[in-house]
Amino acid sequence: MIWIKICLLIVLWAMLIGSFITQNFTYMPIITLFVGLFFTLIAYDMYKRKAKRAFFYGIASVVIILFALFSF
């Protein structure tokens, strides 16, 4: 699970830095979807460990994914 998060963060940072360098922000909804997916993975990992903040990350991931879907 940790390797999936690391790979997702590398892809996310590469897309974000590339869009800031080129000043082309057409990929922002896709980057936002990746952020939502990252928050979903964190929520799932916290839910498996019975952490208290799993519900917060779950709600945050739903809000971020909905924000990304409505920005297309």
Residue that is written with structure tokens 């990746």 in the block? 34
pLDDT at position 61: 92
Helices (H) and strands (E) in the chain, counts: 3, 0
Instruction: Report pLDDT digits (tens) over 11-70.
Output: 888 888 888 899 888 888 888 998 999 889 889 988 988 888 888 889 999 999 999 888
Q: Domain locations in the chain?
A: 2-70
pLDDT at position 25: 83
Neighbours of 22 (CB within 10 A): 10
